[in-house]
Amino acid sequence: MISMPIKLSDDLAALQDTARRFAEDEIRPVAAHFDESGEFPAAVIASGYRAGLLNLVQGDEFGGSNLSILEACVVIEEIAAGCAGFATSMVANDLALTPIALDGTPEQKAAFISPITTGGSFASFCLTEPGAGSDAGGLTTVAERTATGYRLTGTKQWITNGGVSGQFTVFATLDPALRHKGITCFVVPGDAPGLSRGKHENKMGQRCSNTVQITLDGVEIPEANRIGEEGQGFSLAMRTLDLSRPLTAMIGVGIARRACELALQYAKDRKQFGRTISSFQGIQFMLADMATAVESARLLTLRAAALLDAGRPATLESSMAKRVAADTAMEVATDAVQVFGGYGYTKEYPVEKLMRDAKLLQIYEGTSQIQRMVIARELLASGS
Ligand code: CAA
């Protein structure tokens, strides 16, 4: 329906086409099933991995697809237009591996990125805790120093792919009283004694993305598993989120685009009062606003991605993109249900799932309120 506002290289156009075909041929036929069952679609995601659709922004020297953020956005939109739950699961490795890519030594990158990217396995980003969601600086998972490294104790909440991950990027504090100044980043192997995985959360939407609680009960790790310096973990988490929020925003764009496509088609087919509902101005205005919102969210997201790719600070733009794309996904999916009327409210049609899937965009990777807070702080700090 709507095309990218940038010229894609031949390689990227081919990868976009691969992602689109993967979404149409492999995700869409099974999306309702996995939404209903809440199972993790391991075999389908493994097929996406073989097609080069995971580890998108990891460097090729460490087994990744070596895409820029903007290029990864192009791919993620297609996957998310298939199913946002799949997209969330497929993009989670990039979130978990980026702290290592940013602050890890070459040895750590080889030890902790390559085995995940080349082994087709999963890694999880563990910042959030039961008592520390929006207030990430208030986390209380403790890292005690030992003779050879650290002992981690605490609980991590809403961990994407946590039930299937082979490795965890864990943010823990040397002293909760220090707040963000004590937070440090560690890599924890999935089979570490003392690490346990909770049950898969029974979510409203994005139900096939695996979400669990992770408990660390005196998990011992060597010093070589600390990423960056002690006390630098909070800033590392924030820098990681700056880079990953456009990728998440694009999941919102994918949902909104799909909702728009479905509503447009339905409006052209559905007849009331002797004519198609697309001939009514009330519906036309809704469709016009939906399509415009998709374009706006995509442009804002690609702009944030381009700034990040250019190495420019883009905390502001990254949060703007995430805020707008998340709210757009919710609004456009809700309007799609409205266009479908009573049918849209049933599971016989795919738009109610889009509405449920969209809601998570306004919550994870920083709520829409946190994005507004970040945007306001950046505006006020810049003085312009
Ligand atoms: N880049 C680098 N450093 C940054 C930064 C950034 N973008 N933002 C903040 N910092 C630094 C600050 O400069 C400051 O450093 P100094 O002490 O050296 O000055 C330090 O971090 C503390 O900053 P703040 O005072 O701004 O911290 P705060 O406690 O007020 O919190 C916040 C800021 C923006 C609200 C932050 O807590 C936040 O982003 N919260 C939301 C967390 C979040 O997004 N969680 C999602 C988890 S991931 C997830 O959901 C993924 C999934 O599985 C799907």
Which residue lies with its CA nearest to atom 6 of ligand 1?
238
Cα–Cα distance between 172 and 185 in angstroms, integer?
6
**Structural contact between residues 194 and 217, judged by C-beta atoms closer than 8 angstroms:** yes
Give percent of the chain with pLDDT exceeding 90: 97
Distance 238 CA to ligand 1 centre (A): 5
Q: What would the mean pLDDT of 33-48 be, rounded to a whole number?
A: 98
CA of 138, closest atom in ligand 1: 29
Is 365 considered catalytic here?
A: yes
- Residue 2: predicted pLDDT: 56
Residue-wise pLDDT tens digits, 224-249: 999 999 999 999 999 999 999 999 99
Q: 187 - beta bridge partners?
A: 169
Quote the mean pLDDT of the chain.
97
Percentage with pLDDT > 70 across the chain: 99
* Each residue's pLDDT tens digit, 110-167: 999 999 999 999 999 999 999 999 999 999 999 999 999 999 999 999 999 999 999 9
140-147 CB contacts, 8 Å cutoff, 24+ apart:
140/173, 140/176, 141/170, 141/171, 141/172, 141/173, 141/216, 142/172, 142/173, 142/174, 142/175, 142/176, 143/172, 143/173, 143/174, 143/184, 143/186, 145/174, 146/220
Confidence of residue 196 (pLDDT cuts 50, 70, 90): very high
Distance 287 CA to ligand 1 centre (A): 37
DSSP three-state, residue 66: coil
Q: What is the mean pLDDT of residues 81-95?
A: 98
Please give the backbone phi and psi of residue 272, each rounded to the nearest 5 degrees, phi first: -140, 150
Please tell me the predicted confidence (pLDDT) of residue 48.
98
Residue 1 has pLDDT above 60, yes or no: no
In the prediction, which pLDDT does 88 show? 98
* Confidence check: pLDDT of 262 > 60: yes
Evaluate whether 256 touches 290 at the Cβ level (below 8 Å): yes
Q: How far apart are CA 13 and CA 168, in angstroms?
A: 33
From the CA of 209, give the closest atom in ligand 1: 54
Residue 15 Cα to ligand 1 midpoint, Å, equals: 33
- Cα 215–chain centre separation: 22
Give the mean pLDDT of 202-220: 98
Quote the CA–CA distance of 42 and 319 in Å, as a whole number: 31
Report pLDDT for 344.
Answer: 98
Ligand 1: atom nearest CA of 159 is: 53
* Burial readout 302-321 (b: 16 or more C-beta within 10 A, e: otherwise): bbbbbbbbeeeebbbbbbbb
Q: Which residues line ligand 1 (CB under 6 A)?
A: 95, 125, 127-128, 134-137, 160, 180, 234-235, 238-239, 241-242, 315, 364-366, 370, 373-374
d(CA 207, CA 86): 9
Q: How far is the CA of 70 from the centre of ligand 1 (A)?
A: 23
Q: Is the dihedral of CA 276, 281, 283, 285 positive or negative?
A: positive
pLDDT attached to residue 180: 96
263-273 pLDDT, tens per residue? 999 999 999 99
Nearest CA to ligand 1 atom 46: 365
Mean pLDDT of 329-350: 98
Amino acid in the structure at residue 163: G
Dist CA 168 CA 375 (whole Å)? 29
Long-range contacts of 262-268 (CB under 8 A, 24+ apart): 262/336, 262/340, 262/349, 262/350, 262/351, 262/354, 263/287, 263/290, 263/335, 263/336, 263/339, 263/340, 263/351, 264/1, 264/291, 266/339, 266/340, 266/349, 267/339
Say how many Å lie between the CA of residue 173 and the centre of ligand 1: 14
- CB contact at 8 A, 5 and 70: no
Pick the catalytic residue from 77, 331, 352, 365.
Answer: 365
pLDDT digits (tens, 9 = 90+) for 265-324: 999 999 999 999 999 999 999 999 999 999 999 999 999 999 999 999 999 999 999 999
Residue 384 has pLDDT above 70, yes or no: no
86-110 mean pLDDT = 98
Q: What is the mean pLDDT of residues 14-18?
A: 95
Nearest Cα to 262, choosing from 354, 324, 342, 347?
A: 354
Q: Could you tell me which residues come within 8 angstroms of residue 316 by beta carbon, excluding any fewer than 6 positions away?
A: 374, 375, 378, 379, 382
| pLDDT for res 4 | 72
- Six token digits for residue 190: 């999935």
Average pLDDT in the 220-227 region? Answer: 98
pLDDT at 166: 98
The Cα–Cα gap between 328 and 66 comes to 29
| pLDDT at 3 exceeding the cut of 80 | no
User: Would you call 59 exposed, middle or buried from its count of C-beta atoms within 10 A (0-12, 13-18, 19+)?
Assistant: middle
